[in-house]
Amino acid sequence: MTDKTAGGDVRLSGISKHYGTFTAVHPLDLTIPQGSFFALLGASGCGKTTTLRMIAGLEEPSTGTVHLGDRDVTHLPPHKRPVNTVFQSYALFPHLTIFENIAFGLRRRGIKSVKKQVDEMLELVQLGQFAQRKPHQLSGGQQQRVAVARALINHPQVLLLDEPLGALDLKLRRQMQLELKRIQTEVGITFVHVTHDQEEAMTMADTVAVMNGGRVEQLGAPAGLYENPRTTFVANFLGTSNLIEASVESAASDIVVSACGTTLRLPAARCSTTPSTGGKLLVGVRPEKISLVPAEEEHTVATGRNRITGRIAASSFIGVSTQFVIDSPVCPELEVYVQNIERDGRLVPGAEVVLHWNPEHTFGLDAAQDIDAGIETVEESA
């Protein structure tokens, strides 16, 4: 199954998928570099599985081509592609031992001496002592590692993972994310990982493609996407953003805007649109970039900071931080996360406060978009 001469990137060129009149995936161009850990992230129904199935050969694209390196695999059946898939339901053979489950792919190809390779795989997924157990004698996370080993023993060029951790509880998911990342680093095979969980995508992937409505909305390294979202969907879907509607007062290397009489600044380089004086702009800032002081301490805020006055509407203590919701004429329901280093007893619901942050930490988005895009879909997809 492995064709070691045909290494290379996964290249999708104009691939799309229609079901009748419905378009599940719009024409998509995507290059997934060889050896990378790539995540397709998006809410339920946005076309992730369909895209993955077209790479696997389980779904025929309506248009476009799939290349692995220089090789056009668009019309190859799944078993002829150097690709393996791990699904959420890992479907191990219940009557076979873990050893035999992992050996399955080799035996099917008529390979007799499997022990060395199976032992290597058992070691890779750290399940050596469980070789003789049956699947039902393992935890969900261990079973999923068996599924990964069973796929990797075929030495695929690309491993496709479709919400593989979806059935696991949160703590186990976190462990398995790190575990899968370690395995990928160790074997160096391209992983394409589908998930609706933005933290999962950011933890594991070198590159994340954020999908929305059958299209890739933005693609990049996790930190780059998080710091510089180019659309309201990405700003809201990846973490939380405060988006403030403002009008542009002046536009040079710094943009100066006004929101309800409050002046804010941001670097032009962090605008995903070209603002013009008198036009509208959505001004974004992440909750953890904002500092909070009681209104009577406003004199302690350094000059040059963006600042907004408001009132604490709610606060929730979540251990490492306290999350505040603040109402302000400038923007309703601003979110602010404050690290619990020294807690200020004055920061309680009802308190008048000043929010302030470094203008460099502000980004600008085209105001013609839906300001709430990507918010409700996060909940739905769970």
Ligand X SMILES: Nc1ncnc2c1ncn2[C@@H]1O[C@H](COP(=O)(O)OP(=O)(O)O)[C@@H](O)[C@H]1O
Q: Beta-strand (E) ranges in the chain?
A: 10-19, 22-32, 37-41, 63-68, 71-72, 83-87, 158-162, 190-195, 207-212, 215-220, 242-251, 254-259, 262-267, 280-285, 291-294, 306-317, 321-328, 331-339, 352-357, 363-365
Instruction: Tell me whether residue 195 or residue 362 sits nearer to ligand X (CB atom).
Output: 195
CA dist 344 and 340 (Å) reads 9
- Asked whether position 261 contacts ligand X by CB under 6 A, the answer is no
Q: Choose the stretch contacting ligand X; rule: CB under 6 A; options: 47-55, 267-275, 303-311, 354-362.
A: 47-55
Residues contacting residue 113 through CB under 8 Å, at least 6 positions apart: none
Neighbours of 364 (CB within 10 A): 24
CB of 48 to ligand X, least distance (A): 3
Sheet architecture: strand order including 215-220 = 83-87, 158-162, 190-195, 37-41, 207-212, 215-220
* For Mg ion, the closer CB: 35 or 213: 213
The answer to the question of residue 46 lying near ligand X (CB under 6 A) is yes
Can you tell me which of 12, 42, 149, 207 binds ligand X, judged by CB under 6 A? 42
Residue nearest Mg ion, CB atom distance: 49
Sign, CA dihedral 8-10-14-20, equals positive
Helix (H, G, I), strand (E, B) or coil at 78: helix
Q: ∠321-201-197 over CA atoms, to 5°?
A: 70
Segment near ligand X (CB under 6 A); pick from 40-48, 73-81, 254-262, 351-359: 40-48
Among 7, 27, 35, 45, binds ligand X (CB under 6 A): 45
Q: For Mg ion, which is the closer residue by CB, 49 or 85?
A: 49
* Binding residues for ligand X, total number by CB under 6 A: 11
Catalog residues that contact Mg ion under the rule CB under 5 A.
49
For the CB of residue 17, give the shortest distance to ligand X in the complex, in Å.
Answer: 8
Query: Please, what is the minimum distance in Å from the beta carbon of residue 376 to ligand X?
Result: 16
Q: Smallest distance from the beta carbon of 44 to ligand X, in angstroms?
A: 4
Residue 199 DSSP label: H
Q: Give the list of residues 6+ apart from residue 231 with CB closer than 8 angstroms, or none.
A: 217, 218, 272, 365, 366, 369, 373
**CB 75 to ligand X: min, Å:** 20
Q: Does 259 bind ligand X (CB under 6 A)?
A: no
- Provide the residue count of the chain: 382
CB of 25 to Mg ion, least distance (A): 12
* Smallest gap from residue 207 Cβ to ligand X (A): 18
Does position 373 interact with ligand X (CB under 6 A)? The reply is no
Binding mask 9-28 for ligand X (x = CB under 6 A): ----------x--x-x----
Cβ atoms within 10 A of the Cβ of 19, count? 9
Q: Side chain identity at 272, as an amino acid letter?
A: S
45 binds, among ligand X, Mg ion, none (CB under 5 to 8 A by kind): ligand X
DSSP state letter for 296? G
If the CB atoms of residues 45 and 64 are measured against ligand X, the closer one turns out to be 45
| Residues lying near ligand X in the complex (CB under 6 A) | 19, 22, 24, 42, 44-50
